[in-house]
Amino acid sequence: MDDGFHQIWVYLSATPLLGLTVTLVAYQAGMWVYTRAGLHPLLNPVLIAVVLLVGLLMATGTAYRTYFDGAQFVHFMLGPATVALAVPLYRQFQKVRRSFVLILVAILSGSATAVLSAIGVAWALGASRETLLSLAPKSVTAPIAMGIAEATGGVPSLTAVLVILTGIMGAVLGTWTLNALRITDWRARGLAMGTASHGIGTARALQVNDVAGAFASLAMGLNGLATAVLLPLILGLIF
């Protein structure tokens, strides 16, 4: 029985659509649990999908490269999905225009805080220089963060993992944290989510409120630019 299943899996794993199929099924399963639980942040669908996929790859002994060869269409769609975030931003354009100077100050402050807090905590815990450089751009969307890590001497693959973990943690804990701090302005909440936890946090903000989602998408994009510019300067002062 086990040998037969193994042979079937070996055959299926060689087909290019398997990775795409299991990714979509895992995310749909995560969404099903998420909606049944009333959109409870601890049951974030991305987190559930990651756990399911990692468990499947480990159980079947499938190499990540083999999986990614089939799932790379989802990776390709990240670009159009990011561009689509301009739609809610356009709908809230007047609110953004009125607060643009304050938005820039908030994002620059948030970008510097994200970098310095990450480096400071990791340094206090005895992390290596390479780990610190990999951790520094953790609050930026993955393609930008990996490019920054590679340029500054970090490990891009480690940075990618840290970026995903940061996004999931922001989506899970962000709403509770903002509620505890009694921040009720949806613009401020959106900026915080987008700056601290990039695309995954932005997706969560869009589920909660349209204004928060629009400001989160703006913060995600501007934070990527701000971090790419500020991080080399900050690292030059520290190291």
pLDDT per residue, tens digit, the chain (239 aa), is 455 555 555 555 556 677 788 888 999 999 999 889 888 878 888 889 989 999 988 888 888 777 777 777 776 676 676 666 667 777 777 777 888 888 889 999 999 999 999 999 999 999 999 999 999 999 998 888 888 888 888 898 889 889 988 998 998 898 899 999 999 999 999 999 999 998 888 888 888 888 898 899 889 888 988 888 888 888 888 87
Structure confidence at residue 181 (pLDDT): 92
3-state secondary structure at position 49: helix
Q: What is the pLDDT of residue 235?
A: 85
Q: What is the pLDDT of residue 142?
A: 82
* Structure confidence at residue 12 (pLDDT): 53
User: What pLDDT is attached to residue 14?
Assistant: 56
CA distance 63 to 220: 31
Q: What's the pLDDT at 1?
A: 45
Give the count of alpha carbons within 13 A of 16, CB side only.
4
* Cα–Cα distance for residue pair 69/20, rounded to 1 Å: 9
Cα atoms in the 13 Å half-sphere on the side-chain side of 123: 12
CA distances, 109 to each of 51, 68, 187, 208 (Å): 33, 36, 16, 24
